[in-house]
Chains A and B, each alone.
Chain A
Amino acid sequence: MSFAISLPNPWQRGRFRVSYLARHARRHPLVLIGGGLLLILIALTLAAPLYAGDPLKMDPFVRLQPPSAEYWLGTDNLGRDVFARTVYGARVSLTVGLISALVAASAGLLIGVLAGYIRSFDNVIMRVMDALMSIPTFLLAIALISLTETGIGILIIAIAIPQIPSVTRMVRSVVISVRERAYVEAAVCGGARLPKILWRHILPSTLPPLMVQTAVVCADAIMTEAGLSFLGVGVPPEISSWGNMISSSRLYLSIAPLTIFAPGILLAITVLAVNLFGDGLRDLFDPRAKRRS
């Protein structure tokens, strides 16, 4: 199939070539814009102690202040620095989003490869995935959380589990199309063991679409975390997260709108960066898709 040959793949002679990606990234500005934005956000978050104040310090005398030289974005209803809380909130959102996405991607990869390559597993696994997909992701996350004590670890798992089916489906479809290729058959004939076939011959083809899917999942995970925290069931209230900030400020919308819009806008920018990065990766790995849509 000509499709297989035209698909650019950073895996060349069994190794992942970063230089390949770098060469092609120049022609796909979205990867650079999205990735650049993400890097800036991560750098700003890591450097937060250098320029932002203490996000936890409360001062009842400066409640709901407008922006000033000392409080760049004003203060919230407990007299906390909105700027500092927004900047530190990025840590929570990015960490929870990235780890959830990695958990979902690894689980989905494992299950998808098994379902795609070992036919006797396929039907059972995919019916379970169909069932999981029929439950709206956000509601499933809520149900998982409502059954356990709150905490960041539980939160990450509750966000990751509903995302597993979409990753599994994608990986499985790639594995099924690769399974019949001549080089896999050659490896089987050559007496390669199952783990080696999966690791050396099947896994590499799943990685480019998996990276795209992981970006999609990551954007969704960041949104879900913010949404859950906004409902008061996500990150514990003593930690500054964007969802928590918006939730605790919602009564003060007319007096101090920045307490809601500062974290809200940064949240939107973060999700936008991840989405752009994902779209860019998709163009990079599958140039046909760009022409088509």
Chain B
Amino acid sequence: MSGIRLRDVTKHYRVLKRREGLSGSIRDLVSRDYKTVKAVDGISLSIEQGELVGFIGPNGAGKSTTIKMLSGVLEPTSGTIEVDGFVPYRQRRRYVQRIGIVFGQRTQLWWDLAVIESFKLLKEVYGIDDAAYERNLGIFDEIAGLKELRGIPVRNLSLGQRMLCDIAASFIHDPGTIFLDEPTIGLDVEIRAKVRKIIKELNRLKGATVLLSSHDVGDIESLARRIVLIDKGKILYDGPTEKFNGIFGRYRTLRLDVHGLSEEGIARLKEKTAERAGADKGIVFGEVAGGWLGLSFDQDRIPLLELLTPILAAFEIKDIKVEEIAMEEVIRRVYEGALR
């Protein structure tokens, strides 16, 4: 039975509670105090073969834990998991033959070897026949221009190049299911587009089920047809991506370089802007970080220029940035009922 099925899955951990201060450390030497953390608290999910599902949620929500359980590394505390007819944590070696997995910053290629040597090794490891191997290499060359990277040792690749290679490597044995955990983290715009393209193409060509966990709204927007939102170990939302378009496209984040402003200046800026926008215009100010003040606003209620022009006129702003909404904002809005 293909696809991914989770039923009432939970995962509990026992975590050490560290006491504060020097005397606390000394006390910790003799007696230890534990508490139970519910990383995943009853998740049920059903994904069909070939779907490309976006998996989102704040940090510590249980995303990584769920993916680890799906990949067979962790055994759930209770509940059942079935992927492609297998129970992941049971027959690890046979199961792993049928899946591909990419973990954000960690490469699974051999660090000292050239890219193509890693691929040759994988060919041996997975027992891929020559025809399929050559065919897949051809596909990677075409979609992601892997040909130029072949002879470079993995340790010399840039983060983006390594990510492309890792993703290609995860597909090379034609797995039925792929798990991608933060594949675009730390990448610049250009490479990110390439990574999204290769994921989309490979999903389309190979018909592999892809579960994509990402903090990047753009990834989810462009790739996922379905979104699963998880927080505090539970599923908050499981449905079509369209419902999120309202949030994704509508809310933007404006960043202002307020290096030149004093504390009162910044306070006055906030005051004036909130005044002008009115109480219900949906503006939320963030913290000042590194000399930049961020604020998220609702484009439908107050267009960018209407918001920005008065600010620029009255205050000395050195630079501005307009960004898509941050994932934390998305989730906050969801809690506030933006999906209803």
A, B from the same assembly: no
What residues make up the interface of B, taking CB atoms closer than 8 Å to A? none
A positions within 8 Å CB-CB of B: none
